[in-house]
Structure 1
Amino acid sequence: MDDITQRDLRSLVHATADQSTLDCLAGLSAESLFDHRDGLGNEEVCRLTYRRLRRLGEQLGPSSKLLADPSRLFTTLEWCSVTSPSLFLATTLHTCLGLGAIDEFGAGRDDIGDWIGELDSMNSFGSLLVTETGLGNSHIGIRTEAVHDPLTGEFVLHTPDAQAAKLMPNVGLDGVRKLGVVYARLLTSGEDRGVFGFVVPIRDENGPLPGVSITALPEVPFLPLDYATIGFDRVRISARSLLHDSARLEPDGRFHDPLGGPEERLLRSLDVRHRAWAASAAALAAAIRTTAALAVRFAADRRTLSRSAPEQPVLSYRSQQLPLFDALAQSYALTSLVNRVKREWSGAASDPDPSWSSGFRRTIGLVKAHCGAAAERIASECGQRCGSHGMFAVNRFVGYLGLGHVLGPAAGDSRLITLEAARAMAAGTAYRPPSPRITQPNRRDVSQPRIALDLIALRERGLHETLADGMRTAVRRGQPPFEAWNNRSWLASEFVETHVTRLALEALLADADRLRDGRGKDAVTRLASFFALRHIAGNSGWYLAEEVLTPQQVRMIPVALNLLCERIHPDAVSLADALLLPGSTVTAAAQFSPSS
């Protein structure tokens, strides 16, 4: 493709990137501090990550200003994820969760500026302490207590037993100051007022602060950071530590919460996770793009011989094209979807859709969950397509696979997010199933992207009806709620996966329509068709069982995919090049030499 088309493609992929931030980050990419390092131990990796994070803060300025500018924030997090997944996670924990909780629940206060300054200067690094050892990712059962002392106004923070210890916050590294937001049950006048965040200094240069017990966890090779468990032994914290949000606690212990009771307060306290979901989705999409770009570039450059063909690039073989063009198609589709999420988050959407705004926060979680699974799957496949070169850490596939793997349970378990969303959608909460326009689909060309979109919408609608009808039937028959839902959890996952696929295809087709260059538009539209057909092929049993498609239509899908491979092939490298983040430490050159 010519330069105009390449610019057009980049305008689609990086539509939400902040150019001034990219220019700043390009300077960091040239510094040796951000070079890939082999042979480091876990502690060395963790220390390097915090040195990088501090240097990032020096370059970009206060974290609180970054937090207030979604475009700059997402651009930074994408660069971090591509450069070093561990740096992305540390940045997210510090900015989106630690500082984010203080910003979200301490808004308008004039007595917490020193804590914000501490995090802005990175004199301390921030962390969020929510999950507890005993109940995994179920936050309903948080048991850490913060008991109000009306005589002093202070709180006594306490971990009642080992099962209530906080699990996996990044607070385990000696000599690194940490300031945490600890989620605990506020107890006043002997009553449980719900879960609130409390700002707590965790450790300084000399170690954990008095009453704080930290146990380092085994290393996590996929995504190294200083994970630990932490408990509190009647630690006294100041009255201002409580991030009371809209609630009010009087000095004598009288308490008022306009939200109602503890259940409503917990849901509000967990709102901070939505920013982390959006951050994770952006980072995962960036990792998916880089994975696909590197693998396609490698396959185009690597030459091979076979008994049936002369020497030629590996990318000429259909066995390479099918998985790699699938990675390209998913990269573009998920990028369009994530870009839409970022626009909605920042209020920059030019065409706000009521169906998005009504269930937007739920959609963010679903996109995060979908991108996590896709990143893990695509990084694994692309790494294998690169043979032995895919094993070298310098070539990034293992790191991006680890990012997808770890972000599955992080910031809210993706499986729980999926099931909670499906339950709400089955009940019709802020969701209306799509109304496909297609008639007589068994007489249509399923390789046409708009027809394929209607077919996916048909499946989404059908799965929703089956799920909703099944739940209603279970209620009528008196089936216990757990059993009724447990028996349909597999169906719920299929429904949500189809829903997100439909949203991604809609977003990609809308982006393709906006492209000015005809060749670029055609190339992206072919990827959209490929993306849709792979989904339909993978679920052909449903389409046949529901008599939506005929056996002959299903048999023709491989033929259509082969034809699409032929048409995508000439533009594959240009499509891949457009995916690479400008100014990142990853380049398409010199990534596949073992000595690089």
Structure 2
Amino acid sequence: MNAPSLPRSDTGPLHELVHSGCAPTFLAALHEALRHHPAPDPPDPTGRDARLTARLRQLTRALPRARDLFRSPAQLATLIAWSAAAEPALCMTVINHSVLGLGSLICLAPDHGPLREQFETLETARAKCSYLVTEIGQSNSHLATRTVAEFDAQTREFILTTPDQGAVKFSSTAAHGIPRVGVALARLVVEGDDCGVFPFLVELSDASGPRPGVEMTGPVELSALPLDYAYVCFTGVRLPWEHWLRDDATIGPDGAFHEPLGSPDRRLARTLCVGQALWATLPAAAAALARQAGVAAVRYARRRRTQGRLAPGTPLLDYRSQQHAVLGAMADAFALTCAAARALELWTASRSAQRKGYPDGTDPIGFAPWSAVSRPLSAYKAHSIREAARITALCQRHCGFAGFLDANRLASYRGFLEAFEPAGGDSQLICYDLGRALADEVTAPSSDDVTPLPPLQDPQWWPTLLRRHTQELTRRLTTRRDAFAAAGHHAKDSFAVWNPLLDEAAELGSAYAARLAADDVTRTLTAITDPETRSRLDPLAALHGALAARRHAGSLLAAGTLAPADLDELPQVTDLLCDAVLPHLRWLEDAFALPSDVVPAPLGAEDYNQALAQTLTWKHGAMS
């Protein structure tokens, strides 16, 4: 077995950051499981499903079992990151199966003993697991789950039912002869009483098709992230007691329901606790895709020569506009890598500090449940997915036609990231709730941050500026909220008050998430003691801040956080920082790029034209 072709000897500290500090033995096993799979998806969904299932089984054989991965968040995050770069559809399969499906069993089954057989089947991928949460008939269906699991006191079973067409579930779970198991969220009803939303383990299909009482549509195609999607509904499916993933709730012998958490909202946040595992690991995938896109765009720009009349034969990388884009992509990917490390750190700490590893959440449920599950981790999810999607789209554009070829992976990366804008917790709803929660915490006007701004070329400039900006946006939103409430004699948390303020709440929520990520860059740099590494990363971090300020100039100017004169300096500073990053570009590529047999995209090869030609089938016309 070949070890990963990384890192170069002097990329050590950055290599540790990029790969979450995982041991070389784990990286080598992951490399071996993912290498040499360049084949595109078959057009037949059945063939695609079989191929993805085979790859999932290969991963389960090569790596620790899911329960052990959950005890090692760094390994789980690295698995998600590498599989995303290797093939986004495989990553989504791993997320659905291991993080959300098996994760629900791991975290919410109080005793794993009764589910020993199910664990064995799923941890070896003899059956695939799907997470069934979304219902198609209404927005924010998580807050009003209508699928019902009615308790039968005589048999101590549950009867799972889809009440009408609007409660039909949607997930990547089509039946192609491969056994399927689902973790379905349903409203528990005991003696006619609504007892809140819980997950239930359901056998969906076997080699013959859907199980009795389960109805599934044929494949519903989604080209942005090609998987085996389907609509699913239930008609009186009987589930045994142990298939209720009840956490610490129970139903006594007398049929009385006992809920230690005390409220349906707290139960919903607890039921969705696997969202924390997703949000803690998904930023690693987003950062990995941003890094791969940045490396591909840099290498393309270095060897691609333009024939423009100003400078015929000049490499694209010599153009300032190209530098701003592709070096900026590398800088922004570094910032996302820092944020991913912090998200993982927060999840690891919460698992040690909180009951059973997951806090119940402190924010009230508002537009969506996500902030109540975890405010910072939901912020990391929204920020990392949006930033990585922007970076990937930018790299696509700056690679021209090559950026859009399927063989070069950027299109599939972008599809994965854009699919996660609404999936895994809708990013816009997260930002609404973040902004609302931040405004609601303000009980008195706070003094403005008077910390002087460092020089523009200092990595601290952008985090310091964002702290000021977030503070000002909070003050403005709070003032407008109070004015709307007073004018209409409404409660501060009413729909009438917040409805006209949603855009401003989202702006604040986005700024808060960006501030977390900016602070993570500072935290990462501070922890690096090697002066040579710091000298290479400082200008990269500063370039991230300068370009971010240019992108968000409108918001910064409108809030008065920046003056026009400050913006006037940014183009010149950006050029100086690009000049400081260029000498270390090969070093960054070595640290960022995954092995070429894990990501066999021609765009990342040193000779793109030759690498692309090797993927093509040529037909030769007969000579007369």
TM-score (norm. length: structure 1): 0.91
1-structure distance, mates of 2:74, 2:458: 34
1:513, distance to aligned residue in structure 2 (A): 3.2
1-structure distance, mates of 2:77, 2:429: 25
1-structure distance, mates of 2:440, 2:156: 44
Alignment of 1:522-533 (within 5 A): 522-533=535-546
1:182, distance to aligned residue in structure 2 (A): 1.2
Match of 2:158 in 1: 155
Q: Does 1:14 align with 2:19?
A: yes
Match of 2:469 in 1: 459
Q: State the AA in 1 paired with 2:397.
A: Q
Match of 2:549 in 1: 536
**CA deviation vs aligned residue, 1:233-281 (integer Å, no higher than 9, x gap):** 1111212221111111024421111112333322221112111122222
Greater mean deviation of Cα atoms: 475-484 or 237-246: 475-484
Seen in structure 2, the aligned counterparts of structure 1 residues 140 and 348 have a Cα distance that, compared at 3 Å, is closer
Seen in structure 2, the aligned counterparts of structure 1 residues 278 and 553 have a Cα distance that, compared at 3 Å, is same
1-structure distance, mates of 2:235, 2:388: 40
Select which of 401, 406, 429 maps to 1:393: 406
Seen in structure 2, the aligned counterparts of structure 1 residues 23 and 418 have a Cα distance that, compared at 3 Å, is same
1:110, distance to aligned residue in structure 2 (A): 2.6
Q: Secondary structure at the match of 2:307?
A: strand
Do the aligned partners of 2:457 and 2:539 also contact (CA within 8 Å) in 1? no
Q: State the AA in 1 paired with 2:458.
A: Q
1:213, distance to aligned residue in structure 2 (A): 0.2
Select which of 177, 180, 192 maps to 2:179: 177
Select which of 284, 289, 292 maps to 2:291: 289
2-structure distance, mates of 1:226, 1:155: 28
Seen in structure 2, the aligned counterparts of structure 1 residues 545 and 56 have a Cα distance that, compared at 3 Å, is closer
Do the aligned partners of 1:449 and 1:532 also contact (CA within 8 Å) in 2? yes
Match of 2:129 in 1: 126
Match of 1:580 in 2: 593
**CA deviation vs aligned residue, 1:82-117 (integer Å, no higher than 9, x gap):** 101111111111111111111111133431211111
Greater mean deviation of Cα atoms: 297-306 or 137-146: 297-306
Select which of 234, 237, 262 maps to 1:235: 237
**CA deviation vs aligned residue, 1:352-401 (integer Å, no higher than 9, x gap):** xxxxx988921111111111112221111101211121122121100110
1:7, distance to aligned residue in structure 2 (A): 3.1
Alignment of 1:415-426 (within 5 A): 415-426=428-439
Greater mean deviation of Cα atoms: 140-149 or 360-369: 360-369
Q: State the AA in 1 paired with 2:537.
A: V
Higher RCO, Cα 8 Å, sep 6+: 1
Alignment of 1:76-155 (within 5 A): 76-155=79-158
Q: Does 1:594 align with 2:609?
A: no
2-structure distance, mates of 1:93, 1:3: 34
2-structure distance, mates of 1:542, 1:326: 20
2-structure distance, mates of 1:143, 1:464: 36
Do the aligned partners of 1:341 and 1:364 also contact (CA within 8 Å) in 2? yes
Q: Secondary structure at the match of 2:227?
A: coil
Greater mean deviation of Cα atoms: 536-545 or 294-303: 536-545
Alignment of 1:244-323 (within 5 A): 244-323=246-325
1:529, distance to aligned residue in structure 2 (A): 1.4
Do the aligned partners of 2:177 and 2:207 also contact (CA within 8 Å) in 1? yes
Q: State the AA in 1 paired with 2:48.
A: V
**CA deviation vs aligned residue, 1:475-521 (integer Å, no higher than 9, x gap):** 22324722321211211222122222222222222322333444432
Q: Does 1:27 align with 2:32?
A: yes
Q: Secondary structure at the match of 1:488?
A: helix
Q: Does 1:413 align with 2:393?
A: no
Q: Secondary structure at the match of 1:179?
A: strand
Alignment of 1:467-482 (within 5 A): 467-477=477-487, 478-479=489-490, 481-482=494-495
Structure 2: gaps of 5 or more residues: 1-6, 353-360, 364-372, 616-624
Do the aligned partners of 1:389 and 1:594 also contact (CA within 8 Å) in 2? no
Q: Does 1:64 align with 2:67?
A: yes
Q: Secondary structure at the match of 1:484?
A: helix
Seen in structure 2, the aligned counterparts of structure 1 residues 238 and 108 have a Cα distance that, compared at 3 Å, is closer
Do the aligned partners of 2:473 and 2:559 also contact (CA within 8 Å) in 1? no
Alignment of 1:500-515 (within 5 A): 500-515=513-528
Match of 2:357 in 1: none
Q: State the AA in 2 paired with 1:474.
A: F
Match of 2:4 in 1: none
Q: State the AA in 2 paired with 1:510.
A: R
| Number of residue pairs the alignment of both structures matches | 583
Greater mean deviation of Cα atoms: 446-455 or 376-385: 446-455
Greater mean deviation of Cα atoms: 175-184 or 359-368: 359-368
Select which of 491, 495, 511 maps to 2:504: 491
Q: Secondary structure at the match of 1:475?
A: helix
Identity %: 31
Q: State the AA in 1 paired with 2:308.
A: S
1-structure distance, mates of 2:126, 2:561: 61
Match of 1:328 in 2: 330
Do the aligned partners of 1:329 and 1:531 also contact (CA within 8 Å) in 2? yes
Q: Does 1:215 align with 2:225?
A: no
Seen in structure 2, the aligned counterparts of structure 1 residues 322 and 542 have a Cα distance that, compared at 3 Å, is same
Match of 1:354 in 2: none
2-structure distance, mates of 1:55, 1:378: 31
Alignment of 1:189-208 (within 5 A): 189-208=191-210
**CA deviation vs aligned residue, 1:62-101 (integer Å, no higher than 9, x gap):** 2222233212111111111110111111111111111111
Q: Secondary structure at the match of 1:578?
A: helix
Select which of 370, 392, 402 maps to 1:379: 392
Do the aligned partners of 1:284 and 1:403 also contact (CA within 8 Å) in 2? no
1-structure distance, mates of 2:430, 2:561: 30
Q: State the AA in 1 paired with 2:67.
A: S
Greater mean deviation of Cα atoms: 340-349 or 180-189: 340-349
**CA deviation vs aligned residue, 1:192-239 (integer Å, no higher than 9, x gap):** 111111111111111000110001343111111111110111111212
2-structure distance, mates of 1:97, 1:546: 40
2-structure distance, mates of 1:54, 1:403: 22
1-structure distance, mates of 2:241, 2:456: 63
Do the aligned partners of 1:203 and 1:209 also contact (CA within 8 Å) in 2? yes
**CA deviation vs aligned residue, 1:548-578 (integer Å, no higher than 9, x gap):** 4443222111111122222222222322331
Do the aligned partners of 1:146 and 1:184 also contact (CA within 8 Å) in 2? yes
**CA deviation vs aligned residue, 1:110-159 (integer Å, no higher than 9, x gap):** 31211111111212111111111111343111111111111111111111
1-structure distance, mates of 2:54, 2:474: 48
Do the aligned partners of 2:106 and 2:112 also contact (CA within 8 Å) in 1? no
Do the aligned partners of 1:303 and 1:314 also contact (CA within 8 Å) in 2? yes
Q: State the AA in 2 paired with 1:421.
A: L
Greater mean deviation of Cα atoms: 561-570 or 453-462: 561-570
Q: State the AA in 2 paired with 1:514.
A: A
1-structure distance, mates of 2:234, 2:53: 25
TM-score (norm. length: structure 2): 0.87
Do the aligned partners of 2:146 and 2:186 also contact (CA within 8 Å) in 1? yes
Seen in structure 2, the aligned counterparts of structure 1 residues 433 and 346 have a Cα distance that, compared at 3 Å, is farther
